[in-house]
Structure 1
């Protein structure tokens, strides 16, 4: 090691600096490989941070899943918002793959025009956006498949779903990892599944049930049953008749086991004419179940909300009048918790004589309002609904200045609220985490409250007036994923544009657009001259002279020249923008590190000068 001792301090310093740079790159490479699972997310809404629910879904994946992300770079070049979104999609998919230890395979595919990749995209049913006047198309889609050839597709990842990106990705992974159709047990006191009319003709099942049966296995359970059916994935309870003690106990145990329960309770049923106030008369066990899960509903009160009421025609003693029926309500997204995935594509809901939900604090569960009124509301007795007098209700309305919760999600620990006999049954749960959605209205599920039927060409056509059906299907899909999907919420969109870059782009575009407009005006004028000459000849008004023939040739040549000029302008504009983007990328990737290195060298040099100057100053002081 004598050679080190013989080296000057200057050489040793430069060697140390070089070794430092090498070590820095080595640490970066090692960190890249070993710290893939750990990320530092500095975005405001934590857009790149996965929830515990998603991590659990990924951890439960057993068989291989392939996620193919189809993206056309040209789409992002023309619409920067799509480029940012595509970057986020890729980052999340790569993170899913890393967390799965290879069980989730992520592939990016860039479909070019007339390529095999584009053929596969078309065959998969993906949606493309035309890019300008060329034949090029833009793709932003996702295709997932598993080892048994089940397939899930997002044909085009629209920006309005950006807030639910993690939910959509996790739902796809969950469906592919557990592709079996879910089974729903339906308990109801209404004729939802159809019945036989008094005239002996069959009454069809409600439209909403027909839709459910397209996606789920729906199995009916009577209110007098002693137990639930086997192998149920979810329970749906809609305005039930009086529940037997045994059935109420089985329902409570089902909920305490963590399995999802969806409830549509109704203090006043517009559909159950034989027992419209059934919740107050024979809802003892039902109300006890709801309260045990954290939801108290006054069985003899309905919500009145004039500001969101529907106008109806009412036959008053003086004749027909159009009046606001303050217990038939119509709500838009201002009343919804739009951060919850159940409101995806839900813009309007129609609700009739709903109840109000309050939290039973003794239950210990968490209540998340899903649909909530404003303060200009009140609670009315169900006695006022029979017979209904909309005019009297409106004139006598007095607000209580309190918001009302019409639908809520209940989660967390709850205790058993139904017991049978003095001793517990073997395996009986005394507490557990529940996953329940409660809506304080059942009438909203009936056809006429959200859709209008018409006849077209001999066929019955259903025209939705509201998104009641969409809400139910969203709830069932969300809850069928258990706590994993119900724990996911939407997030904001992170968009912080480079205003300086955009300003330079606009300046460059303005410069070229002026030239482009001049050329377009020339092209229009030339084509007009050509059309005038040709149309005159076609009408036989003139004979084309040699001069006109020469003029036509010159005009056509001018048209070709102008079009070539327009293409050159467009190419120049694109080149300027690409050159600007390249400069920004170089500054980010090379300029900033070089600046840091330069600052380090300056600091290092100043330090050496101070160290050298110190002994000199001391020597001068001695002399």
Structure 2
């Protein structure tokens, strides 16, 4: 007789082995992983590994996370586990130079005081007063400290960059703020009065912002006859005009030698004012001139075109009224998330940026560098000829006529794909000199002439210079253009770009990683198809309704002096019939919309049944079938 207990004994042994293997692998094989995610979400990039290799002083990283407070927030627990696993990867890859401590700051504990001392404050998450701490503090052996005060699951895409930058900053010298050289044809630092009795021009407020964040110096374009100091970390070029050959060659050699560049160029710089006394005020050229260098870098500012966007237009005062002005573009993330590149650290943290009469910057034909759009218009963005602005005493006065030149329809290519106007781009990759014939006449530099970049060139190009002026971001100045008061991220854009470029090439090589989620592509496709069917039917009914409205208006024409419409009985009956038909069509449109919602809900219910109910049921039936077959064989 067979032992009746053997199946249960085998089951117990299997369960024991399962638990034992899991406990063993969870400790002994803790860092043995195979990353099978589509975008390698759990694999450190080469840039991060290179930064870890350059650590001189040991670094301690403290992850503060309130475990008990987050018990009822599954999404936060998942993200916290993602953060911890990434930090563990960093610790393992640093060869003992990084130590990770995970701290749970319970209320009124020493750990809570420690978190507060690092500037990591708790966030109130319940009516009961529960505080959630979720941040990172890091310090090296000489007590230099860096923090990420608050971690947010929306930052998953650039989590690795934030951690790598935190470590990179700890490896830099205490006084290294970054050296930024500014080259511009505009009086950014102010200017003495051009004529007696006139007030001096004040410095642009952005210069103070830059001076607070970096070590800055100003280059005089007219006096550049030799190389730019290689100790300069970032060259900020703002509205270059009339640069000499030697000045442009100096920029060329700086870029080839590994220098980082932030270039702001403009097809129509509003704040490039004509000098007092110039006879032809309307003929003043407000266009930036850097075409040859931009071409060598693989990009172009589309010639003689200014960009506008009816969807993003901001209001201006025109006479006694306020109208939308498409050339004043306000990028607002709450209106369209596609305006900002969410996977690039320069643009991902921005939410509100203003441009005034910007241009379009794009990859040039035949360009070999990698060009990534950071900021763009909505699909209704388009360009018009800049000559429309050239002969106006104030472009804002042309708001009514210029606004009429823009279509409110989305712009599409030949295949029907929506297009956006690119307003700011990142450029990276090897480049060649814009001066193939060598140094120009008058060059006094003694260094070797470079013809190719030694490594990867890195630059950010913005197609607007006016965005730096305080009139577009400091509320007290808004009235200068008749604009309504509003603050935004314009100075943050400039500072973000420079801070990003100041990072090492390893840090610049990091981009936002894939989001920690996967869309239901099949479900999305089915929903899209349902919406397209709804849209086609709704458009058909809408056309009928508009046709009926026109016929009803035609029947109601011809009112007398008292406003009374006189019509025959036949006309009255025809009018009543059309009005009833119009009401029925509106009801049909409502039913179509209701049916769409029901279709999508039914689709969701079917997919849930398939994934939650049908698949487990099929597995269970398969197991039962296998069990019955074995029993028949043993009988």
Aligning the two structures, in what range does the TM-score lie when normalised by the shorter sequence?
Answer: 0.5 to 0.7
**Does the aligned pair in 2 maintain the 1:47–1:494 contact within 8 Å?**
no
- Alignment equivalent of 1:210, drawn from 198, 208, 211: 208
**Does the aligned pair in 1 maintain the 2:430–2:456 contact within 8 Å?**
yes
Whether 1:435 aligns to 2:494 is no
Whether 1:234 aligns to 2:264 is no
SS at match of 1:235: strand
- 1:364-413 per-residue CA deviation (whole Å, 9 max, x = no partner) reads 11111122234544432222112032222223446875632111111112
Matches within 5 A, 1:74-223: 74-130=68-124, 132=126, 137-179=131-173, 180-197=176-193, 203-223=201-221
Q: Counterparts of 1:28 and 1:247 in 2: how far apart (Å)? A: 66
Once the two structures are overlaid, the 10-residue window that deviates more, 409-418 or 50-59, is 50-59
Higher helix proportion: 1
Q: Offset of 1:304 from its aligned partner?
A: 2.9
Q: Offset of 1:445 from its aligned partner?
A: 0.9
| Residue of structure 1 in register with 2:423 after alignment | 406
SS at match of 2:346: helix
Q: Offset of 1:106 from its aligned partner?
A: 1.1
With over 3 angstroms needed to count, the CA separation of the structure-2 counterparts of 1:464 and 1:475, relative to structure 1, is farther
Q: Offset of 1:435 from its aligned partner?
A: 0.9
| Residue of structure 2 in register with 1:10 after alignment | none
Q: Counterparts of 2:286 and 2:291 in 1: how far apart (Å)? A: 8
Q: Counterparts of 1:144 and 1:126 in 2: how far apart (Å)? A: 12
With over 3 angstroms needed to count, the CA separation of the structure-2 counterparts of 1:468 and 1:478, relative to structure 1, is same
Q: Counterparts of 2:462 and 2:117 in 1: how far apart (Å)? A: 41
Whether 1:491 aligns to 2:487 is no
**Does the aligned pair in 2 maintain the 1:75–1:82 contact within 8 Å?**
no
Q: Offset of 1:67 from its aligned partner?
A: 0.8
Q: Counterparts of 2:104 and 2:201 in 1: how far apart (Å)? A: 52
- Aligned pairs, number: 478
**Does the aligned pair in 2 maintain the 1:369–1:408 contact within 8 Å?**
yes
Matches within 5 A, 1:450-529: 450-453=473-476, 465-486=487-508, 487-494=510-517
- The TM-score, its normalising length taken from structure 1, stands at 0.68
**Does the aligned pair in 1 maintain the 2:430–2:452 contact within 8 Å?**
no
| Residue of structure 2 in register with 1:373 after alignment | 377
Let me know the Cα RMSD of the aligned residues. Answer: 3.9
Q: Counterparts of 1:418 and 1:54 in 2: how far apart (Å)? A: 35
**Does the aligned pair in 2 maintain the 1:330–1:349 contact within 8 Å?**
yes
Q: Counterparts of 1:71 and 1:195 in 2: how far apart (Å)? A: 52
| Residue of structure 1 in register with 2:403 after alignment | 394
- The TM-score, its normalising length taken from structure 2, stands at 0.67
With over 3 angstroms needed to count, the CA separation of the structure-2 counterparts of 1:103 and 1:378, relative to structure 1, is same
Q: Counterparts of 1:104 and 1:464 in 2: how far apart (Å)? A: 44
Whether 1:362 aligns to 2:370 is no
SS at match of 1:118: helix
- 1:483-510 per-residue CA deviation (whole Å, 9 max, x = no partner) reads 33333214313499xxxxxxxxxxxxxx
Q: Counterparts of 2:473 and 2:467 in 1: how far apart (Å)? A: 7
Once the two structures are overlaid, the 10-residue window that deviates more, 268-277 or 289-298, is 268-277
Q: Offset of 1:121 from its aligned partner?
A: 1.7
Higher strand proportion: 1
With over 3 angstroms needed to count, the CA separation of the structure-2 counterparts of 1:463 and 1:311, relative to structure 1, is closer
Q: Offset of 1:278 from its aligned partner?
A: 4.6
| Residue of structure 2 in register with 1:253 after alignment | 253
With over 3 angstroms needed to count, the CA separation of the structure-2 counterparts of 1:74 and 1:123, relative to structure 1, is same
Q: Counterparts of 1:404 and 1:192 in 2: how far apart (Å)? A: 28
Q: Counterparts of 1:114 and 1:175 in 2: how far apart (Å)? A: 32
